[in-house]
Amino acid sequence: MPDRSATVAGVVLAAGLLLAACVDESHELQVQALGDEAPGVKRGPLHRPGQPCLVCHGASGPSSHEFVMAGTVYAVQGQSAPARGAQVLIEDQRGSSYVATTNEVGNFYITTDQWAPTLPAQVQVSQGDNSQQMLTHIGRDGSCSDCHTQTPGPTSPGRVYLALAPSQAGAP
């Protein structure tokens, strides 16, 4: 008769190896690279402005709230003040559209329950007399800061913003 404890240990080891094989190390490194939460800011709609939302809120988790698109809009190019109450209009290739409104830190998000766009998609951000049309399309990832990093350069146009200069920003 086989040793029952050896059989159980073998099953546990095999299950552990299968589980370890399912972990996406690249994704885990992306989550870790985000760092800790800002002091005094609870997890929720106001946390992590300017960071790639779908790293945690995409299909791979770790958040249980999955987004199809999310990002942060800033009031003025090159500055850190958020665009509060801006309208983010996204239209997909089928002509289906969704409007999200930025919150007090400039964040917006669209959950998988709210909309299921078919990429590519076009985006326009507006508030009052200010409007910015994205010149390219979203083709692969709905996390704005994957392309719109803090510093503009050869691979990034910089952050998403409403106005080029403070004099154009106006009051929300």
The whole-angstrom separation of Cα 69 and Cα 21 is 28
The whole-angstrom separation of Cα 39 and Cα 114 is 30
Confidence (pLDDT) at 82: 96
The kind and range of the H/E element at 131 are strand 130-133
Q: Which of 58-62, 77-81, 108-112 has the lowest mean pLDDT?
A: 58-62
Question: Is pLDDT of 168 > 80?
Answer: no
Sequence ranges of the domains in the chain: 49-169
* Residue tagged 């190896």 (tokens): 17
Between these two residues, 15 and 160, which has the higher pLDDT value? 160
Question: What sign for the dihedral angle of Cα 50, 79, 75, 141?
Answer: negative
Confidence (pLDDT) at 2: 57
Spatial CA neighbour of 142 closest among 67, 75, 30, 89: 67
Confidence (pLDDT) at 171: 47
Q: How confident is the model at residue 172 (pLDDT cuts 50, 70, 90)?
A: very low
- List, for residues 126-155, the tens digit of each pLDDT value: 999 899 999 999 988 888 888 898 888 898
The whole-angstrom separation of Cα 13 and Cα 36 is 32
Q: CATH number of 49-169: 2.60.40.10, 3.40.250.10, 3.40.50.150, 3.40.50.300? A: 2.60.40.10
- List, for residues 24-34, the tens digit of each pLDDT value: 688 788 767 66
Global pTM reads 0.79
